[in-house]
Amino acid sequence: MTRAQLEHIVRAAGSITDESVILVLGSQSILGAFPAVPPPLDVSREADLCPLHAPEKADLISGAIGEVSLFDSTFGY
């Protein structure tokens, strides 16, 4: 995953949840500090996200843009 792809996912998550602060967890959080990472750190196609001030909305993100969603099949991440 590239930083641009992660930013796309974060924007989509914010739009879905109507939240402005989205926490990136897990391996893709490295893209916050290092915009370009070397292989094999760039092979993951998923990111774990949670609205910081409304963690109960995390399932909305997963359902709308998670694995086997239209977003996933369209963009491949």
DSSP string, 28-44: GGHHHH-SS--TTTT--
Domain ranges of the chain: 3-75
Give φ, ψ of 50 to 5 degrees.
-150, 130
Q: What is the pLDDT of residue 70?
A: 96
Q: Is 50 helix (H, G, I), strand (E, B) or coil?
A: strand
Q: Model-level pTM?
A: 0.92
State pLDDT tens for residues 6-43: 999 999 999 999 999 999 999 999 999 998 888 888 88
Q: What is the pLDDT of residue 67?
A: 93
State pLDDT tens for residues 52-77: 999 999 999 999 999 999 999 999 99
